Amino acid sequence: MSKLLINPSIFPTIGSVSIKGKDEDHYSKHIQFPSGANLLYLKNIKNPTEFALLTKYVNSELFSDEEIEVMPAILFKYRSKTGS
């Protein structure tokens, strides 16, 4: 699988959450919303079909009819996991 270069500055930051560990005096985890969530999602794409579609989108390539038909299945698969 090839790699995509993600420019994190294109995602806006509206807020953030920081979490302290049990025995820590400092915050060990920090994520900005929605930019951090978007980056986590993009960095962890494992589905080769989804990655190929994203690559075509990034490169401004046209989608085939078959690829467009696959897109809702990918979207609804993730929505069903979150309970939405």
Higher pLDDT, 82 or 29: 29
Q: How many domains does the chain have?
A: 2
Same domain, yes or no, for 52 and 20? no
Same domain, yes or no, for 56 and 20? no
Same domain, yes or no, for 76 and 51? yes
Q: How far apart are CA 53 and CA 62, in angstroms?
A: 10
* Residues 18-72: tens digit of each pLDDT: 887 777 677 777 788 888 888 888 888 888 999 999 889 888 999 999 999 999 9
Per-residue pLDDT band for 79 (boundaries 50, 70, 90) equals low
Domain hosting 59: range is 46-84
Q: Which two tokens stand for residue 68?
A: 């467009």
Same domain, yes or no, for 51 and 23? no
Rounded average pLDDT over 1-29: 77
pLDDT at 65: 95
Same domain, yes or no, for 7 and 36? yes
Query: pTM, whole model, 2 decimals?
Result: 0.62
Same domain, yes or no, for 51 and 40? no
11 exposure class (CB count in 10 Å sphere: 0-12, 13-18, 19+): middle
49 Cβ neighbours under 8 A, 6+ residues apart = 70, 74
